[in-house]
Amino acid sequence: MTSSVMDVRNELVRAPDRKLAVAPSTPRLRPLIVPIILLALWEIAAHTGLADPRFLPTLEAIAVRGVKEFAEDGLTSDLTASLARDLLGFVVGASVGVALGLALGFSRLLERLLSPLLLAHRQIALFAWVPLISMWFGGGEAGKLVFIALAAFQPALTNTWQGVAGIPKIYRELSRVLTYDGWDFAVVIALPGALPGIFTGLHAALIYAWTSTVGAELLLDIAPGIGGRMNEGQHLFHIDLLFLCVFLLGLIGMVFNLIAGAAERRLLRWRRS
């Protein structure tokens, strides 16, 4: 009797350990459940005739189109053109946004002068600037870069500005005690304190720049890029090419998001320690 009680007790003690060994892998799989179900429903609808294959091709047809496009090097050059356009616009827009955000955070006078204008600019939809950009800079490469830079500018500006303005008052008081002012205050206290806000703005600017890259290629003059291939798919009714481009846009956006998140965690590791 005693031995059976001890066996039951040992089982109860070991049970949590077995749970802990299995549990960590389960949350990692949860985000995949809904996409897998949707893809399965897609395949069923495409193969059984529930959906017209002219509007919803099978996943195999999209994969075959992808292999063909990359083998012929057509989509590779278009993706390269879009990525180069995106990164250049991101660097320009984010750099201006971070610089102006720092200036507004450090200067009360500049904040009072410019904040109404910048807050009004924030309320204007990005695509509302397309006609003006097209008239001022044309629909070519310059117009596309300005549009992408404008998309990256706003989140970088807002988050940097809030990051500097949100530095705790105790840090400012400490800087006065230590006689840190001007450059010393900015380098030793303000910039490290604002880094989380700056990185949040850069992370958002990277995603905004990528989505606006496709918007610029779709709305302005046709040029090499993934947006141009989507225009081609629309006009020639190549639905498999359209879906292929949409999948690639989502995949690249996810990669950007993962890279930005990993860089942010690595560069801000010192704050956690």
Kindly report, residue by residue over 161-199, the tens digit of the pLDDT: 888 877 777 776 777 776 666 666 667 777 777 788 888
Considering the entire predicted model, what is its pTM?
0.78
**Would you mind telling me the total number of residues written for the chain in this entry?**
273
Residue-wise pLDDT for 113-166, tens only, equals 888 888 888 888 888 888 888 889 988 889 999 999 999 999 999 999 888 877
**194, 167 Cβ separation under 8 angstroms:** yes
**What is the DSSP-derived secondary structure letter of residue 187?**
I
**96, 153 Cβ separation under 8 angstroms:** yes
162: Cβ contacts below 8 Å, ≥ 6 apart: 197
Q: Which domains does the chain have, with CATH numbers?
A: 2-48 (no CATH), 59-272 (1.10.3720.10)
**68, 126 Cβ separation under 8 angstroms:** no
